[in-house]
Structure 1
Amino acid sequence: MPSPHRIALLFNANKVYDRHVLTGIGNYLTSTRVEWDLFMEEDFRSRTVGIHHWRGDGIIADFDDPVVGETLCGMPLPVVAVGGSYADPANYPAGIPYVATDNARLVRLAYDHLIDQGLQRFAFYGLPPTPGNRWAMEREQAFLDMTRADHLEGLVFRGSPTSAGGWGVAQEAIADWVRALPKPIGIIAVTDARARHLLQACIVADVPVPAEIAVVGIDNDPMAQLLSRIPLTSVIQGAEEMGHTAARLLHQMLHGGCLPQQRIIVPPKGINVQASSRHVPMNNPHVMRALHHIRQYACLGIKTDQVADYVGVSRTLLEEHFKRELKLTVHQAILQHKLQTAQQMLADAAVPLADVAVRSGFTSLQYMYAVFRRELGCTPRQFAEAVQAGEAVPGVAEPLTVPKRAAL
């Protein structure tokens, strides 16, 4: 029996995008029963050190890192590149098969979603231009091309590289930009990490999300979702498919296939729509501010009085505004947000029901069961089983909407 091929995977497993690519590679090996002896450097900063002396059979690598690309060009081993797409074909590495995420279509999904929300102003929060951020510049340019084609002004803010020491200054700069933007406006963040920074800046600047600023990220990073007070809308990259495709190409090359100019552009899988981009035009600034506060703190157990204190009006007056604008009480709006949060978590079979109850702000599992039965006509377990099986969901807590008469 021949020995397994020795394959190096040169990726930064600290990044969600790279992890999804690696998952796709693993899925290919599992589905085809191909046996590879995989090597991946524990410290990603050392991934290219001594690679020319490595006695292996093939390499799959992240070519968004220019150091990796420069190091591997001319390697005598079969190499498959993974990275971002380029508008100019000359930017792709010569003589190496390349599997790319479609940067333009990632931005297009986010842009079209914001248009669907009724927004007419748009901005982009990107990254400073560096050799390692070429993919970010491609996304920024795609955004500018789209707004220009629609005869709109596309506003861009790149901010600064984030570090613990300079984070306070960087966040204040984002907050200043947010305050100065014309509103309402939709902002596309180049990654979920940048989107999370943006949401934090909106909280610092006391700018309601999504009433005045709707935010869409890219990556669908579970960690960004977990660490964001306001659930983040995000475009889902086809990174696992990229990894699967890269492994297939390398497998072909290891068995004599010649694919020097093969270039495969993988489209995004879709968009995970959450509260950060569900823009609803509102007439009442008190309701707008109240909903902004509810989206941040509903799952932490806030009460109507606390919302009224934040808005700066009496509870009675706030209730009147809510009934006029939303046909809901403040308590019902808080409960609706808790239900939406619980429903999203119930789609994940790995999250215990007790954890869902706590993280969505219910005082007990029993209370969550009672609310689900009353509001949706099913138990949380029945809801979870239906969602996870892809069946018709017994009930759905809709996002807050403004009745048409109130929006006129």
Structure 2
Amino acid sequence: IIYSSIVYPKEILKLNLPSIIATYTVNQIPPWPNIIVNNKKVSKMAADFFLNKGFKHFGYCGFDYFPWSQERSAYFNTEIRKAGHAAHIYKKPKSKIYNMWKYEQDSVKNWLKSLPKPVAVLASNDLRGQFILELCKTSGLNVPDEIAVLGIDNDKVVCSISSPPLTSININYQKAGFEAAQLLEKLMNGQKSQKQQIIIEPTTIITRRSTDTLAIDDKDIATALSFIRENANIPLQVDEVAQEVLISKRTLQRKFKKSIGHSIGYEIKKTRMEKIANILIETDRPVYRIANELGYNDCTNMVRSFRQFMELTPQAYRRKHK
């Protein structure tokens, strides 16, 4: 397996050995099988995540010289435009001076300050997301209230040491690694491969403090959503949400449906199922323990609800996505 991080590996490929390419600096290297990320799905997941939070201003900050970053930028912009908005794409100035760390920092700082607020920014990967968070801190920009930041890769070390902790799209690199190993074994045994791509799929978004905000104009809806998310680990009832907002259940149901597009009950269930999914991916806790922590009287009830919503049992979801 060849991982091309800096240069095109021409000399190695001339040896004509069984190879699978995981390239960083070019799109693909035919005719060998290539490992690639489904950037279209990644970008759609990011756009949907921000749109569901009510954002109307969006940004993308990546690297002009990497094809995978350019792809994510283009797909993200397309999805945002479909929703009737536009994404502000960071473009590094062409002068070579901006290759220097100090000047690159200044350029991104100025871009962040220029964005309309509140704004949702997708970073091309977690390292770029951490970089953006650091610049927001030194620029006096509040995260997540002024700028919500979403990374890609779910690198647990990078996300956890970021300040605030970085929300990120989890990519199933482990599954792709197993597929690549199986394919390489076949190639080494002299079998020809019909598979020219190993697609790495995103699985879910692991939410952390960097996106813990809502850009909802209606204060009642914003209060309801915040209350639901803050209480995702208890079996919340619609009546309790209405009591927190201090309006009638009927009025809140009507406003919620108009603003969010579905019922309060569905939002409660969705939030609970996403909470379970995050725990399954982020930890090795037994399913029965998760059910107990989230207030289920019977583990079977949680498993049934999760399966209905995710179309997989908790165990199968963990095996597929972790």
Aligned partner letter, 1:393 = E
SS in 2 for 1:67: coil
Q: Does 1:96 align with 2:12?
A: no
Change (3 A) 1:243 1:126: same
Q: Does 1:75 align with 2:15?
A: yes
Q: Does 1:202 align with 2:102?
A: no
Q: Which residue of 2 aligns with 1:128?
A: 64
Q: Contact conserved, 2:53 with 2:216, CA < 8 A, in 1? A: no
Q: Which residue of 2 aligns with 1:230?
A: 164
Identity across matched positions, percent: 25
TM-score by length of 1: 0.51
Report the count of equivalent residues: 235
Q: Contact conserved, 2:54 with 2:216, CA < 8 A, in 1? A: no
Q: Which residue of 2 aligns with 1:24?
A: none
Q: Following TM superposition, by how much is the alpha carbon of 1:252 offset from its aligned partner in structure 2, in angstroms?
A: 1.0
Q: Which residue of 2 aligns with 1:189?
A: 123
Q: Following superposition of structure 1 onto structure 2, how do residues 106-145 of structure 1 map, counting pairs within 5 Å? A: 106-129=42-65, 133-145=66-78
Q: Following TM superposition, by how much is the alpha carbon of 1:122 offset from its aligned partner in structure 2, in angstroms?
A: 1.0
Q: Following superposition of structure 1 onto structure 2, how do residues 249-398 of structure 1 map, counting pairs within 5 Å? A: 249-259=183-193, 262-281=196-215, 390-394=290-294
Q: Which residue of 2 aligns with 1:171?
A: 105
Q: Contact conserved, 2:53 with 2:215, CA < 8 A, in 1? A: no
SS in 1 for 2:141: coil
Q: Contact conserved, 1:126 with 1:157, CA < 8 A, in 2? A: yes
User: Of the two, which has the highest radius of gyration?
Assistant: 1
SS in 1 for 2:11: helix
Q: Deviations over 1:339-364 (max 9, x none)?
A: xxxx98xx657xxxxxxxxxxxxxxx
Structure 1 runs not aligned, ≥5 long: 1-59, 284-324, 328-342, 350-384, 397-408
Structure 2 runs not aligned, ≥5 long: 218-243, 247-277, 297-322
Q: Following TM superposition, by how much is the alpha carbon of 1:280 offset from its aligned partner in structure 2, in angstroms?
A: 2.3
Following the alignment from structure 1 to structure 2, what is the Cα–Cα distance between the partners of residues 76 and 348?
42
Change (3 A) 1:391 1:71: farther
Following the alignment from structure 1 to structure 2, what is the Cα–Cα distance between the partners of residues 179 and 63?
35
Q: Deviations over 1:175-217 (max 9, x none)?
A: 2211111111110000111111111111122122111211100
Q: Following TM superposition, by how much is the alpha carbon of 1:85 offset from its aligned partner in structure 2, in angstroms?
A: 12
SS in 2 for 1:252: helix
Q: Following TM superposition, by how much is the alpha carbon of 1:66 offset from its aligned partner in structure 2, in angstroms?
A: 4.2
Change (3 A) 1:109 1:81: same
What value does the CA root-mean-square deviation take over the aligned residues? 3.5
Q: Following TM superposition, by how much is the alpha carbon of 1:238 offset from its aligned partner in structure 2, in angstroms?
A: 1.5
Q: Contact conserved, 2:128 with 2:151, CA < 8 A, in 1? A: yes
Change (3 A) 1:241 1:128: same
SS in 2 for 1:269: strand
Following the alignment from structure 2 to structure 1, what is the Cα–Cα distance between the partners of residues 106 and 122?
19
Aligned partner letter, 1:272 = I
Change (3 A) 1:143 1:105: same
Q: Following TM superposition, by how much is the alpha carbon of 1:244 offset from its aligned partner in structure 2, in angstroms?
A: 0.9
Q: Which residue of 1 aligns with 2:303?
A: none
SS in 2 for 1:188: strand
Change (3 A) 1:247 1:231: same
Following the alignment from structure 2 to structure 1, what is the Cα–Cα distance between the partners of residues 70 and 198?
20
TM-score by length of 2: 0.63
